[in-house]
Chain A
Amino acid sequence: MSRITPKIRELSQYLIAYETKANKRLETNTPEAFHVGEKLRPHLTSLMGNVGFSALLSRALALANAEVPWLRAVRVRADGSLERLDEPAAQADPEQISEGSVVLLAQLLGLLVVFIGEKLTLRLLRDIWPKLSLDDFDFDKGEKHEKEN
């Protein structure tokens, strides 16, 4: 059973949407999760080193593979960056690519939540995306949509 809660999935979608918008002029073939991963990488490697970040991302990828088959054609490099291999498995329609990105990032965020808790995870994300409002994802403050009601 996936550990991704609706809230983490929503957070993943939110970050991907933000980064996709910011990177719309860049190459379109790159899965969105790669952009978010690149944004996360310097911050998390500075905290846990390349080895630590690569290990965490590899675990997230392994978990995501079970849900989205095309992610089997993705590997984590030693420096913690993501690489999409030129394999038949990597072929997928845009919707699947997009779903893979969401799941992969959500698994990574889920692992962070498991290890360091929700508060610290959000704290890290706020440092990486200072302009982004993440208050709605404050796990202690209840569901986003509840707040809006």
Chain B
Amino acid sequence: MKKKTDRQKAKLPEKSGNSPSKVTIHKIPTGVRGLDEILGGGIPEFSFNIIAGSPGCGKTTLAHQIAFANATAQKPALYFTVLGEPAMKMLRYQQQYSFFDESKLGRAVRFLNLSEVVLEKDLDAVLDEIVRQVRAANPSTVVVDSFRTVVRKAVANANELEMQSFIQRLAQFLTSWEATTFLVGEYDKEEMRDNPLFTVADGLFWLSQVAERNSIVRKLQVIKLRGQESVPGLHTIRISDAGLQAFSRTLGLLGTRAKPKRRRRLSMGIPELDKMMGGGLLEGDSLLVAGPSGTGKSALATQFIAAGLRHGEPAIMAIFEERPQGYTDRAETFGLNLKTPQENGALEILYLRPLDLSVDETMQAILDAVERIGAKRLVIDSLVGFEMALAPGFRTDFRESLYRMIGALTRAGVTILSTVEVEDTFTAFSLSHYTISFLTDDIIRMRYVEIDGQLRKVMVVVKMRGGNHSKDIREYVITDEGVVIIHPRTTQYHGLTTGIPERTGSSPPQKAEASPEPKAK
């Protein structure tokens, strides 16, 4: 019998079905709304990151937000300032943001000035000073702002090796000390290829300002993030009193809540229209109301909201053209009270009109409002106004953005009515020049027609994805009750959809109209 070899004697680990578990990389929050989602959950702990971009993009604000979000007295954030924005000014301006917690200053968030060391000494001395401070404080987060200034002398002296060695040692030391590091600097994208800093970095966050005609939009790109999947592309960021807020390019595409199989029919607030729609609008649908100016789209939208409020369904009206007061006043002329629901929190009228909005910001504002009041109905009045409120750069992909927005809102269980102004050409029956009708479940078209020497109004339900609907073209008027459908369908004309129908039946005796329709305010 053969002797057992040493290897056989030593008990080898048996192959198990369970492979060794991979390391868990914890993620630290950025404190920036929307950014953690873009990053895939947050910033990898102990990573070495660069926040780069041109002046005024929000680099320092982002670094501050991260520092304040993660710093505690036990695991502070060390913020090294170097010849950039003077510390006094930094404190002066940054305290304006709501994330700036003055109680953290000094203990949890410590600002340290490296200017003299950088100016008077070499990179070894800079590293020694950082090492000294880090050893003493044991920080969770380290920021160097601006890092470009730290290595400027070495770059000017063309001492690339010194700089490379410094970056390597700094990265190794800070990672070993379990600090998540952010180097802030003004860089051009062209520098990425030759600068060793970008090779060493685990994460690279690029901030920029994109000019389109007269509007400027801030963007963020995650160029690199080791160890996790982030959302690619350029994401809109905005700086407000709360600091930075990021809007993922894919905002609204997530979430899988399907529409329930049995959905209620919601009243439009116009009984005849409910009948035309087979009992009302299906809950969770997106309805497009298209028509030229003055046909009563906003009135119809107001009646839709008021009907919901009567049934205890909170609502949001996102308006882009008229002011909220105008809406409330007009509703009053129809006998609809929108003031009380606004006061008791059942209705919010969002007036969104800046000219540099992004769809994502608008979507976020609406989603926030929906969540705030538990809204079931939403009116967007109008899509044309909405497009006008966007920064020119966002108008080009308005359709795609709208698709995400409507998807996100209907998935949230909201029933949407959007209005869109279309031109009546009197020869064609266009639904919307945006070609966005594919985004909606249902379409109602309102238009002017010339009948018996009068310019009257008709409407038709063009499409209802969720069920059958009336094919009738019905005449309506706008009275002190709002939109009121008056006559049953007429069979005495053809070509009503062109706006200039031809009479096919006998002409009834003509009676002059006694008085015009009451004009809405």
Q: Is the CB of B113 within 8 A of A56?
A: no
A130 to chain B, nearest CB (A): 10
A57 and B46 alpha carbons, distance in the complex (Å): 39
Q: Choose, from A9-17, A22-30, A120-128, the stretch at the interface.
A: A120-128
Q: Is the CB of A51 within 8 A of B87?
A: no
Q: Choose, from B100-108, B216-224, B406-414, the stretch at the interface.
A: B100-108
Given contacts A49-B87, A52-B86, contact A120 B95 (CB under 8 A): yes
A47 within 8 A of B: yes
Q: Is the CB of B112 within 8 A of A46?
A: yes
B92 within 8 A of A: yes
B88 within 8 A of A: yes
The one of B95, B103, B115 in contact with A116, judged by C-beta atoms closer than 8 angstroms, is B95
B239 within 8 A of A: no
B116 within 8 A of A: yes
A49 and B86 alpha carbons, distance in the complex (Å): 9
A144 within 8 A of B: no
Q: Is the CB of B116 within 8 A of A124?
A: no
A17 and B91 alpha carbons, distance in the complex (Å): 29
Q: Is the CB of B95 within 8 A of A123?
A: no
Q: Is the CB of A49 within 8 A of B105?
A: no
C-beta contact mask, B132-169 vs A, less than 8 Å → 1, else 0? 00000000000000000000000000000000000000
B312 to chain A, nearest CB (A): 44
The one of B88, B102, B106 in contact with A52, judged by C-beta atoms closer than 8 angstroms, is B88
A48 and B116 alpha carbons, distance in the complex (Å): 10
In the complex, which residues of chain B have a beta carbon less than 8 angstroms from the beta carbon of A120?
91, 95, 102, 105
In the complex, which residues of chain A have a beta carbon less than 8 angstroms from the beta carbon of B105?
120, 123-124
B111 within 8 A of A: yes
B79 to chain A, nearest CB (A): 10
Q: Is the CB of B102 within 8 A of A49?
A: no
Question: Number of residues in B with C-beta < 8 Å to the partner?
Answer: 18
Interface centre among B86, B92, B112 (most CB of A within 10 A): B86
The one of B81, B86, B89, B102 in contact with A119, judged by C-beta atoms closer than 8 angstroms, is B102
A142 within 8 A of B: no
A146 and B105 alpha carbons, distance in the complex (Å): 28
In the complex, which residues of chain A have a beta carbon less than 8 angstroms from the beta carbon of B89?
115
Given contacts A124-B106, A127-B107, contact A117 B86 (CB under 8 A): no
Q: Is the CB of A48 within 8 A of B112?
A: no
A81 within 8 A of B: no
C-beta contact mask, A101-126 vs B, less than 8 Å → 1, else 0? 00000000000000111011001101
A65 within 8 A of B: no
Interface centre among B87, B88, B105, B116 (most CB of A within 10 A): B88
A117 and B86 alpha carbons, distance in the complex (Å): 16
Q: Is the CB of B91 within 8 A of A52?
A: no
A109 and B95 alpha carbons, distance in the complex (Å): 18
A120 and B103 alpha carbons, distance in the complex (Å): 9
A20 within 8 A of B: no
Q: Is the CB of A50 within 8 A of B116?
A: yes
A140 to chain B, nearest CB (A): 11
10 interchain pairs (CB within 8 A)? A47-B87, A47-B112, A51-B115, A51-B116, A115-B91, A115-B92, A120-B95, A120-B102, A123-B102, A126-B106
The 5 closest A-B pairs by CB, nearest first: A49-B113, A127-B106, A49-B115, A48-B87, A116-B91
Tell me the A residues contacting B by CB distance below 8 Å.
45-52, 56, 115-117, 119-120, 123-124, 126-127
